[in-house]
Amino acid sequence: MPEDSIDHINFEELNSKAISKPIVTHLYTADPSAHVFENKIYIYPSHDVDAGEAFDDLGSHFAMEDYHVFSMDSIEGNAKDHGIALHVNDVKWAEKQMWAPDANEKDGKYYLFFPAKDYEGIFRIGVAVSDLPYGPFTPQPNAIKSSFSIDPAVFKDDDGSYYMYFGGIWGGQLQRWRKGVFNASQPESPTAFLPKDNEPALLPYVAKMTDDLLQFDESPKEVEILDENGNLLLAGDNDRRFFEAAWLHKYNGKYYFSYSTGDTHFICYAIGDNPYGPFTYSGRILNPVVGWTSHHSICEFKGKWYLFYHDSSLSKGVTHLRSVKIAEIKYNDDGTIQTLNPYN
């Protein structure tokens, strides 16, 4: 549900209709990235704080400065807060706005992938490493070479290859990289440099990672999202085009690329045959939640599949104070995903 529709919401009634409750209530969490490590669910969210910034379409009010990691022994169990795993003050190249992270594991090491603005105001993506899934994480001295924009998501394929998906428009700055270099003009405009409605929409990116998971092993490539006719989704197709929050998971041999449509507030997905795509738009996973943003992950645990997402119901609609939730997702026989309504 967009920001301008919350004034008339009865939050007590809304929360009674919600399909799930916040799993963390002592602080605000968002953008949950969920993985199963050591037979537990580990969740790597962003940490919402009220920094006193006014709402704007650049996301200035999302002033997050650290990450907490949470673990769960079961879907029904409590989420354990393992404390601060990484703080922006520990990252030499980063100045502020540690937005949605992800994590993965290789050879007993754990890797936290995170975006942050550098001292030139440009979003880059960094890596931090730990011997434990919950940290603390030690950041690399520099951001990933050739990284840009936001929302890293790192997928491990069955052959042991790792791929990072990333990108976000508006405040995520993806549109400022259309010519291959950062366009710093019109910094106050989140929609400058966007394609016209009848032009192909901006696309997220993917890059295979090096064996040590610290760098890209190739130049990032665009991830094509196609319509039912095999054409790229258009920029004006706001209900289906990519905005932010890339995620990839694999089900029955197919690759599912899911993402947020941003200003129309859907979590959608597209299906492909390999990690690079192309992916064909296949439907919605989640209808709009309370709050402006929608950002998710999808994870299998003990034979069932779950959507990890957030809304702003706990903060009674405050856009930048969100709470992580979990809901089971189900697949139809043809591989499509049944759409969830967050409030029945």
Task: Determine the 3-state secondary structure of 12 from DSSP.
Answer: helix
CB 24 within 8 A of CB 70: yes
31 is catalytic: yes
- Rounded to 10 degrees, the C-alpha dihedral 193/53/120/296 comes to -70
Which residue among the candidates 102, 105, 151, 244 is catalytic per the annotation? 244
Give every CB contact of residue 241 below 8 A, 6+ residues apart in sequence: 201, 225, 233, 234, 235, 261
Question: Of 12, 31, 57, 217, which is the active-site residue?
Answer: 31
CA separation, residue 262 to residues 1, 59, 170, 242, 272 (Å): 11, 12, 9, 8, 22
Type of residue numbered 42: Y
The yes-or-no answer on residue 3 being catalytic is no
Q: Respond yes or no on whether the N-terminal peptide bond of residue 136 is cis (omega within 30° of 0).
A: yes
283, 329 in Cβ contact below 8 A? no
φ/ψ bin of 292: left (φ > 0), alpha (ψ from -120 to 50), beta (otherwise): alpha
- Residues 6 or more apart whose CB falls under 8 angstroms from that of 30 comprise 45, 46, 47, 48, 100, 293, 295, 310, 322, 323, 324
Bridge partner residues of 323 (DSSP): 311
Minimal CA–CA distance to 173: which of 158, 187, 155? 187
End-to-end CA distance of the chain: give it in Å, rounded: 14
Catalytic residues: 31, 244
